[in-house]
């Protein structure tokens, strides 16, 4: 638990009696002392091990997919944008794969979108041998050029704050967060929803009795879709999430590899939620984009050749390494591990 002084310092209280759940999450993750602005969260030692960190094959398959799309549909100067590159591992694997078509990077304006200063430093260090074009880093996504874009991300869209609504005794309530100064503790309260606009949206979710939504995530994705529609291009995103109505809220906190409450270790732990892919697909359709793929991570990786690549790598390795490669691929595609929960959505104007 943080000291009162520290909590005041991070201005989480904001002099308000209570604040909306998404505002609390935003402060816990993205305020100047928030989890994402100071922690180095990606890698085996840290809170998550993401797919690119598990195996080079993940980035190679994405790389081949991007290369094919560029060659077939763009084949000219373009923006290559990665959202939330973590340690830069996915970028490195894509770069290595792209060496089979040198004109890919010769034509790329590379832009890495990273909010975390520490991670940016790690990316700069890990990518210092990348000479094929200049990398531009940005904290936020700002489309400056009218060139076609290839945008990709892994475990980025789960970072956005959510709002939670629940239905009880014929009324909808929204979760807010309160702080008890005496006990130095956060806890949630339910406030009755009175906004007609929100009640209208919620009326579609009465059967499930809950609704979890990230308006900031949806808005971010809408911005990408609008850009693609206007300037052409493709967006490929991989994240854990769902495409059916959910029965339970998905918001979760992880501290030292263990699930905790979102009110513990505030600003020290990751808070994330499963991505509602139905809503993202709807946004893409509203923007008149094509849905090229919406499949599980397992299906995507198998469709684009991970088993063939595994076979090739196995043929060159010692028995010890072979077991390791088997384990890595299993972790990525086994339906009881990352294979089913993680999904791949590809939308494009092309
Ligand atoms: C869970 S990590 C995934 C890292 C990497 N993509 C991987 O698969 O290993 C999320 C990444 O997104 C960054 N990030 C989260 N929210 C962001 C935002 N709103 N804008 C820019 N970067 C953000 C984090 O700092 C981190 O690099």
Expressed in angstroms and rounded, the spacing between residue 140 Cα and the centre of ligand 1 is 11
**Residue nearest atom 18 of ligand 1, based on CA coordinates:** 115
Using CA atoms in the order 212, 21, 284, 248, what is the torsion angle rounded to 10 degrees? -20
Q: Are strands 233-242 and 210-213 parallel, antiparallel or unpaired?
A: unpaired
pLDDT at 18: 83
Write out the DSSP string of 44-79: TTSSB--HHHH-HHHHHHHHHHHHHHIIIII-S-EE
Q: Which CATH architecture has domain 38-159+214-348?
A: 3-Layer(aba) Sandwich (3.40)
Give the 3-state secondary structure of 156-171: CHHHCCCEEEEEECCE
- In the chain, which residues have pLDDT < 50? 1-2, 5, 7-10, 13, 15
Task: State the DSSP code for 13.
Answer: S
Gap from CA of 38 to ligand 1 centroid (Å): 12
Q: Print the SS3 string covering 240-280.
A: EEECCCCCCCCCEEEECCEEECCCCCCCCCEEECCEEHHHH
pLDDT of 17 reads 67
Q: Are 192 and 113 in contact (CB under 8 A)?
A: no
Residue 62, Cα to own-chain centre: how many angstroms?
15
User: So what's the pLDDT on residue 12?
Assistant: 53
Determine contact, residues 174/104, Cβ cutoff 8 Å: no
Protein residue with least CA distance to atom 16, ligand 1: 159
Separation of CA 7 and ligand 1 centre (Å): 24
Neighbours of 26 (CB within 10 A): 17
Q: Is the dihedral of CA 85, 88, 90, 96 positive or negative?
A: positive
Token look-up 């529609």 returns 229
Domain ranges of the chain: 4-33+163-213, 38-159+214-348
Ligand 1 contacts (CB < 6 A) are: 36, 42, 48, 50, 52-53, 84-86, 90, 113-116, 119, 154-156, 159
Pocket test for ligand 1, best of 28, 35, 45, 84 (most atoms within 8 A of CB): 84
User: CB within 8 A of 205, min separation 6: which ones?
Assistant: 165, 167, 211, 245
Which atom of ligand 1 lies at the shortest distance from residue 116's CA? 25
> Residue 32 CA to chain centroid, in angstroms?
20
pLDDT score, position 99: 94
* CA-wise closest residue to 25 among 216, 244, 206: 216
Do residues 79 and 149 lie in contact, with contact meaning Cβ atoms separated by under 8 Å? yes
- Nearest Cα to Cα of residue 103 among 80, 125, 135: 80
Q: Which residues pair with 290 in a beta bridge?
A: 348
Q: Tell me, what's the pLDDT at 132? A: 65
What pLDDT, on a 0 to 100 scale, did the predictor assign at position 220? 98
pLDDT of residue 69: 97
Bridge partners, 167 (sequence order): 172
**What's the rounded Cα separation, in Å, for the pair 80 and 314?**
31
């Amino acid at each position: 638990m943080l000291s009162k002084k520290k909590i005041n310092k991070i201005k989480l209280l904001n002099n308000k009696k209570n604040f909306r759940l998404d505002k609390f999450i935003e402060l816990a993750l993205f305020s100047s002392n928030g989890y994402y602005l100071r922690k180095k969260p990606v890698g085996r030692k840290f809170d998550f091990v993401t797919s690119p960190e598990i195996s080079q094959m993940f980035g190679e398959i994405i790389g081949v997919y991007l290369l094919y799309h560029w060659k077939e549909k763009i084949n000219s100067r373009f923006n290559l944008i990665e959202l939330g590159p973590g340690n830069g591992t996915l970028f490195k694997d894509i770069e290595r794969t792209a060496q089979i078509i040198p004109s890919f990077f010769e034509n790329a304006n590379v832009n890495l979108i990273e909010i975390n200063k520490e991670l940016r430093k790690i990316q700069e260090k890990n990518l210092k041998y990348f000479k094929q074009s200049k990398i531009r880093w940005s904290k936020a996504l700002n489309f400056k050029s009218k060139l076609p874009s290839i945008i990709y991300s892994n475990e980025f869209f789960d970072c956005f704050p959510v709002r939670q609504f629940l239905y009880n005794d014929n009324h909808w309530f929204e979760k807010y967060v309160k702080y008890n100064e005496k006990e130095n503790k956060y806890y949630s309260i339910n406030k009755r929803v009175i906004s007609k606009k929100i009640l209208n949206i919620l009326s579609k979710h009465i059967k499930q009795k809950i609704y979890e939504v990230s308006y900031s995530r949806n808005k971010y994705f809408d911005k990408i879709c609008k850009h693609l529609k206007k300037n052409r291009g493709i967006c490929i995103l991989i994240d854990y999430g769902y495409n059916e109505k959910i029965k339970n809220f998905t918001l979760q906190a992880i501290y030292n590899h263990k699930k905790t409450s979102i009110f513990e270790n505030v600003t020290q732990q990751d808070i994330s939620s499963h991505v509602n892919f139905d809503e993202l697909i709807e946004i893409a359709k509203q923007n008149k984009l094509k849905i090229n793929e919406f499949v599980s991570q397992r299906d995507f990786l198998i469709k684009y050749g991970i088993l063939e690549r595994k076979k090739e790598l196995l043929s060159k390795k010692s028995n010890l390494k072979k077991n390791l490669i088997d384990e890595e691929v299993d972790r990525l595609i086994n339906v009881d591990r990352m294979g089913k929960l993680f999904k791949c959505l590809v939308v494009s104007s092309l």
